[in-house]
Amino acid sequence: MKVAIYVRVSTSEQTVANQRQALCEYCDRRGWQIVREYSDEGISGAKSDRPELNRLMQDADKGKFAAVCVWKFDRFGRSTQHLLKSLEVFKGLGIEFVSVSEAIDTSSAAGKMLFTMLAAFAEFERGLIIERTHAGLRRAKAEGRRAGPKAKQVDRARVRQLRADGRTWEEFCSETGLSKGSAWRALTGRDSLTGLKSRQPKEGAWKD
């Protein structure tokens, strides 16, 4: 069987040599042919954009190998959701996934069962998050509170001083921490920036 191996280390001081050796020995024992190695070195597993992992997924779609072999789950996936999403892609393409350290092989009955269990737990977790979100929104509505982040408080005296100083919108927003739209609504209660220039607001635009 044609296999791709993926190895990764988080820092430039680390080496992928041990992972590579373990994967090569494993594939050799099973009589698998390693057609390509994908290696991301000095890249955190939390990053969504990994050059070699991206290339592996592209080559998987092109049918360049029949299985992907890694040393551990955490070398490949940045989260449970990412891992399961990738495994779903491989499943759809007819590509098996093997994690040597965890002794997981999706081509085996036990591996298929574990994959199903992981997917079920991930769906359960998503359901809990949605349920908690909806419960929070209902509670806020029942208590007469506005759901979501609190509106920024505006110091009207400071705003008037900044206006008197002739600050531009960019300077004003930088000093108050408000976006241009939020600043405009906070100052005037209006919903449009019509008539404002990027450097200096018209005098009428600043009126309360």
Give catalytic residues, as residue numbers: 10
SS (H, E, C) the chain: CEEEEEEEECCCCCCCHHHHHHHHHHHHHHCCEEEEEEEEECCCCCCCCCHHHHHHHHHHHCCCCCEEEECCHHHHCCCHHHHHHHHHHHHHHCCEEEECCCCEECCCHHHHHHHHHHHHHHHHHHHHHHHHHHHHHHHHHHCCCCCCCCCCCCCHHHHHHHHHCCCCHHHHHHHHCCCHHHHHHHHHCCCCCCCCCCCCCCHHHHCC
Contact 76, 44 (CB under 8 A): no
The residue type of 94 is G
Structure-block tokens of residue 44: 């955190």
